């Protein structure tokens, strides 16, 4: 079956070369986030930078599963096209620059004169991926095709550059170490976002927020939620005892799974919030398991706790690039242990551990990654220049 799927991918890849009769549009930039699911993540922040800094200079096109839900983009002068459609294929075949955060289907190919920029969707260097996981011959072949087409791959740290270049067989010179555009706001003071998130969920301005954001289990196409629910009332009580104030919990399920909001008593469901970084910016504490949101939260200096009751099994199944005992975040494998980690949290020790972690991984977060990426894309579109670079470091 896998061989048949690979054969169909290769056939479709060949047939779609017919779209190359259409000329590359010099000023066209196409954006795809989470395979068309959302206007979000790093592509969103690059798009917004170009929209604000160079209004009308480029044709910004968003490929979305449900473009009808994104009328606000069209009102701003951006074009929206259905991702999995003939029109979407035509946009991808003619864009000078294509920006994605997950990679694109292997049946798509890009020609000389086009630039595929993969911004990825996570920082640090945590869960293993690509060739570092057990994958079949067909999956390996598809990964090789998409890696071959990638001209630039954004990186949040030197360690990420090393492991990702190996895991997807990408030449090291194509790693572009400027940080994650979506993390620029986490390195800035944004009280407006803190207020907006509280207003959205009916919380008073002085309420402190626990954000619980677990990752998924299983494969991307068969993802399931974390098997262990968090005891939100107990965690909120522990946070109030340790840090003071009034607390509320927001729970954000991974976008790959369907959350069951009724199964999480004591937390408000934030799974449909359009932007995870806004939630992180507003949160006073993050609890996660293996999500790279831990890296993002560490940029704020605010506490992050790891609640990972299935740690041993997850380590056997997937494992990590950076060993868990080298993470700066307090780790708990049970609810009583999590409450103890909260009670014993020390701000000074945590801050020192986070600084050491950033140094060990070689953080490349700059706070102006959206600007750097946007200006390079603008130059590629309007000034010409090579699609690929032999040295990606900023």
Domain boundaries defined on the chain: 2-184+367-382, 189-361
Is pLDDT above 70 for 10?
A: yes
**pLDDT of the residue at 220:** 57
**pLDDT of the residue at 384:** 73
Q: List C-alpha distances in Å: 311 to 53, 263, 394.
A: 45, 22, 36
Q: Mean per-residue pLDDT for 66-85?
A: 96
Alpha helices in the chain (DSSP H): 2-15, 41-53, 71-75, 86-94, 137-149, 158-167, 191-200, 232-243, 276-282, 293-298, 311-317, 335-343, 347-361, 369-382
Is pLDDT above 80 for 392?
A: no
Query: How many other CB atoms are there within 10 angstroms of residue 249's CB atom?
Result: 21
**pLDDT of the residue at 138:** 87
Q: What are phi and psi of 231, to 5 degrees?
A: -85, 90
**pLDDT of the residue at 163:** 95
* Buried-exposed string 27-65: b where 16+ CB fall within 10 A, e elsewhere: ebbbbbbbbbbbbbbbbbbbbbbbbeebeeebbbbbbbe
> Is residue 82 classed as helix, strand or coil in its secondary structure?
strand
The 10s digit of each residue's pLDDT in 171-184 is 989 999 999 999 99
The 10s digit of each residue's pLDDT in 216-260 is 666 555 555 665 679 999 999 999 999 999 999 999 987 666 655
**pLDDT of the residue at 390:** 46
Is pLDDT above 70 for 346?
A: yes
Q: What are phi and psi of 353, to 5 degrees?
A: -65, -40
CATH number for 189-361: choose from 3.30.60.50, 3.40.630.30, 3.40.50.12580, 3.40.50.720.
3.40.50.12580
**pLDDT of the residue at 348:** 98
Under 8 Å CB-to-CB from 101, ≥6 apart: which residues? 32, 33, 34, 41, 42, 43, 118, 119, 120, 121
Does domain 2-184+367-382 fall into CATH 3.40.50.300?
no
98 beta partners? 30, 116
- State the virtual CA torsion across 202, 204, 205, 210 in degrees, nearest 10: -80
Q: Mean per-residue pLDDT for 287-298?
A: 96
**pLDDT of the residue at 73:** 97
Q: Mean per-residue pLDDT for 40-56?
A: 97
Is pLDDT above 60 for 206?
A: yes
Q: Please choose, from the candidates 305, 136, 82, the residue with its C-alpha nearest in 3D space to the C-alpha of residue 213.
A: 305
Query: What CA–CA distance (Å, rounded) separates 220 from 84?
Result: 18
Q: Which two tokens stand for residue 362?
A: 């070689």
> Is residue 268 classed as helix, strand or coil in its secondary structure?
strand
Give the mean pLDDT of the chain. Answer: 92
Q: Mean per-residue pLDDT for 125-133?
A: 92
Are the C-beta atoms of residues 313 and 338 closer than 8 Å to each other?
no
The 10s digit of each residue's pLDDT in 100-124 is 999 899 999 999 999 999 999 999 9
**pLDDT of the residue at 261:** 44
Which single residue is written with the structure tokens 């999590």?
A: 338
Under 8 Å CB-to-CB from 113, ≥6 apart: which residues? 24, 96, 387
Judge whether 2-184+367-382 and 189-361 match in fold. yes
């Amino acid at each position: 079956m896998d061989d048949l799927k690979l054969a169909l991918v290769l056939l479709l890849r060949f047939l779609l070369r017919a779209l190359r009769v259409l000329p590359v549009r010099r000023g066209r930039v196409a954006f795809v986030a989470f395979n068309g699911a959302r206007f979000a993540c790093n592509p969103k922040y690059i798009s917004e930078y170009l929209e604000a800094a160079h209004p009308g200079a480029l044709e910004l096109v968003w490929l979305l599963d449900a473009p009808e839900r994104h009328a606000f983009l069209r009102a701003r002068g951006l074009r929206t096209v259905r991702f999995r459609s003939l029109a979407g294929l035509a946009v991808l075949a003619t864009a000078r620059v294509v920006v994605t955060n997950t990679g694109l289907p292997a049946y798509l190919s890009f020609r000389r004169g086009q630039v595929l920029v993969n911004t990825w969707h996570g920082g640090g260097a945590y869960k293993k991926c690509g060739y570092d996981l057990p994958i079949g011959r067909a999956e390996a072949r598809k990964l090789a095709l998409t890696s071959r087409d990638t001209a630039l791959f954004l990186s949040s740290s030197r360690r990420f550059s090393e492991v990702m270049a190996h895991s997807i067989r990408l030449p090291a010179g194509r790693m572009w170490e400027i940080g994650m555009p979506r993390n620029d706001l986490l390195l800035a003071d944004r009280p407006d976002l803190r207020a907006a998130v509280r207003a959205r969920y009916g919380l008073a301005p002085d309420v402190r927020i626990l954000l619980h954001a677990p990752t998924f289990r299983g494969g991307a196409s068969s993802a399931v939620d974390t098997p262990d629910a968090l005891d939100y009332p107990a965690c909120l009580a522990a946070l109030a005892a340790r840090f003071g104030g009034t607390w509320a919990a927001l729970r954000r399920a991974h976008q790959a799974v369907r959350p069951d909001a009724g199964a999480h008593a004591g937390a408000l469901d934030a799974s449909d919030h359009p932007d995870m970084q806004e939630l992180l910016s507003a949160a006073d504490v993050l609890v996660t398991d293996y999500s790279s949101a831990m890296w993002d939260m560490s940029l704020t200096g605010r506490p992050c706790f790891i609640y990972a009751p299935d740690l041993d099994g997850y380590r056997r199944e997937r494992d990590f690039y950076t060993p868990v005992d080298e993470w700066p975040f307090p780790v708990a494998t049970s609810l009583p242990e999590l409450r103890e980690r909260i009670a014993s949290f020390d701000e000074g020790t945590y801050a020192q551990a986070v600084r050491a972690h950033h140094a060990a991984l070689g953080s490349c977060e700059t706070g102006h990654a959206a600007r750097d990426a946007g200006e390079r894309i603008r130059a590629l579109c309007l000034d010409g220049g090579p699609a690929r670079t032999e040295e990606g470091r900023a």
